[in-house]
Amino acid sequence: MDQAVWLPVAFAVLMGVSILLYVILDGYDLGVGILLPRATPEEKDRMIASIGPFWDANETWLVMAVGLLLVGFPTAHGVILSTLYGPVAFLLIALIVRGVAFEFRAKAGAPFKPWWDRAFFAGSLVAALSQGYMLGLYINGFAGGLTAHAFAVLTALCLAAAYAFIGACWLVMKTEKDLHVKAVRWARLTLGAVVLGMAAVSIATPLASQRIFAKWFSFPEIIALAPIPLMSGAIIVGVWMMLQRMPRADHSLDFVPFVGAVLLNVLGFTGLAYSFYPYVVPDRLTIWQAASAPESLMIIFAGACFVLPVIIAYSVLAYWVFRGKATELRYD
């Protein structure tokens, strides 16, 4: 097959997988940061301990996704980031503040530690809101006007709630005792916002483009795609029923809500990817129009095929080594 045909598709897949892994992995530790103010000082330490071995590596997938966009689709990179300059700036500032706060809270004296906890919360919240706002503008094809920005605000709030939900599910899996009970309650409260966000995106996406509407509601596509919303609904009901039966004394099924949250993200992302393919800039640039020269793509693709297994390997190792419930936070 011609390299000019399959290489852009391969890069789009790699970029999509990187974005999905970022949303899932950094999503739960952003969610933990958003939930931080609702915990006691001792519980905050345990929450930080639950994400401590993972949070920095989780952001690797964001770097990978943006890097693939830059080198694989430079034209689209310029269009997207120039249009989203404001929220991207807020996102980067928030991630910097969050990273600094994570390190400094461990070294600050007792009078200053609460301030770094607040900075960690603020950085997590602003990062989540910025990502949600960018998603809302992207779904609307970067259209201007009050309606588009109002939808972006709604998407921002719902994505922050979705991160709080997956973060709560992570804490359900990683904590015990009073914090575990609180995490179950947080997961129940935020699940409704997840349903609202998924419904809003599902309605707005086909309405934003006649092409997307036709992809979802033409026959036989509507039958072939029916499992996506049906499975999403079944998972939401299943997670809700499981949360209603928690906490459990044996903790044997504490992983189930988190697995359900991960599956919801996968299904939601699959729906969005199908909706916008083959466009990398909605209804303006396809992946082939925006792609770099095949010779450049082949060199970068070879490098990605080496780097990706390394990232996956050390991530799997970290999650295996630090499996089980989070322990006491110590820095000695």
Note the pTM of the prediction, 2 decimals. 0.92
State the pLDDT at residue 1: 65
The string over 85-108, giving b where at least 16 C-beta atoms fall within 10 Å of a residue's C-beta and e elsewhere, is: eebbebbeebbebbeebbeebeee
Higher pLDDT, 208 or 119: 119
| pLDDT above 80 (res 329) | no
pLDDT tens digits, 35-54: 999 889 888 989 998 998 88
Confidence class of residue 330 from pLDDT cuts 50, 70 and 90?
A: low
Q: How many alpha carbons lie under 13 Å from residue 291 in its C-beta half-sphere?
A: 25
- Domain spans of the chain, in order of start: 3-321
Among residues 63, 60, 55, 65, the alpha carbon closest in space to that of 19 is found at: 65
CB-CB contact of 15 with 65 (8 Å) = yes
SS3 233: helix
CA-wise closest residue to 216 among 271, 261, 174: 271
Structure confidence at residue 160 as a pLDDT band (50, 70, 90): very high
Give the pLDDT of residue 87. Answer: 92
- Of 127-131, 190-194, 219-223, the one with minimum mean pLDDT is 219-223
pLDDT tens sequence across 245-267: 888 778 788 999 999 999 999 99
**If you compute the radius of gyration of the chain from its CA atoms, what whole number of angstroms results?**
20
Q: Which residue has the higher pLDDT, 110 or 59?
A: 59
pLDDT band (50, 70, 90) for residue 104: confident
**Distance between CA 325 and CA 321 in Å, rounded?**
12
Selection from 266, 265, 262, 246 nearest residue 254 by Cα: 246
